[in-house]
Every structure is written in structure tokens, then in C-alpha cells.
Copies of this chain bind each other. A is one copy, B any other.
Amino acid sequence: MELYDKPLDVKEIFSRWLDEEAESNYGAYIPFVGTIRAEDGIEALSFDIYEPLLKDWFDKWQVRAKELGAIVKMAHSIGDVPVHTSSYISAVFSPKRRVALELIDEFVEDFKANAPIWKYDIKDGKRIYAEDRSTPMSGSGLLA
């Protein structure tokens, strides 16, 4: 798991992960690259991350991937990420095509729903919580 306080260097990360697994005899490598879209007049998105819980979330995914004979990796930005640059990359390496295709889908969707990351729009220099696009984590409402 890699966290950066700037937009991701997508080419460097893609290439380094490829090199890291050069000897692992995978058959399929599927990265998912998330890039900030220009929409609604935003200048950038910005992210807060709670690192201890993110690490915990990611550790569980590493275990699950290993059970399937696969490897997962991820990188994310903290702070401001301008439009048309990338804030998120996750990837699966697997001997098997089907495992890789299914795992990248699950991994990315669970990331969106349960990784402890908060997103803000940067608009006219203001940082506005992206509440309407956010998902309560599982177990929400316990203290209500």
C-alpha cells in the first residue's frame, strides 16, 4: 500500500509493479487507474485518509487475494489532486484470467464502499465534502 501527498505518477507505479512481479509467473495483470474528471467546475479533488484503518482494510484484502492465488496492490493520494491527474491505482496479479477480472471488480467496489477515505471538491478555492457521492461504511449508525 502506497500513499502519496501529490497526484500519482501513474507510469512509474504501473511499471514498478510490473517489475516487482516479473518473476511471480502471473498470467494476468489488471490495474485500475482512477483519474479526476473535469466536471461541475471543480479544480481538483482532495482526500483525507485514516491510515491505520486503511492499512487494516488492505491487509485483509491481501489475505483474501492470497487465498485465490492472487496479489493485490494499491496506491492513493492524500490532499489535493488536480483534474486530469490520478489519485488512485489498484491492481491484481493472478495466474488466472477469471480470478483477475472478478477480483479487480470486487477490490475496487469494496474500496469505494469501505476504505476510510474522505473526498472533497475543490471549487473556487474552497474544500467541500463530497457528501452526496459518499457511502456510509458498514456498521454505520451504531451510536445514533
In the complex the two chains form, what is the Cα distance from A25 to B23 in whole Å? Answer: 35
Q: Count identical subunits in the complex.
A: 2
In the complex the two chains form, what is the Cα distance from A38 to B26 in whole Å? Answer: 9
Contact A97:B84 (CB < 8 A) given known A15-B11, A25-B38 = no
**Closest Cβ–Cβ distance, residue A10 to chain B (whole Å):** 6
How many residues in A have their beta carbons less than 8 Å from beta carbons of B?
Answer: 32
Q: Tell me whether B25 and A84 are in contact (CB under 8 A).
A: yes
Q: Which residue of the partner chain, among B11, B22, B37, B108, contacts A95 with CB atoms under 8 Å? A: B37
Question: Which residue on B lies nearest to A11, using beta carbons?
Answer: B15
Q: Tell me whether A37 and B30 are in contact (CB under 8 A).
A: no
Q: Tell me whether B32 and A28 are in contact (CB under 8 A).
A: yes
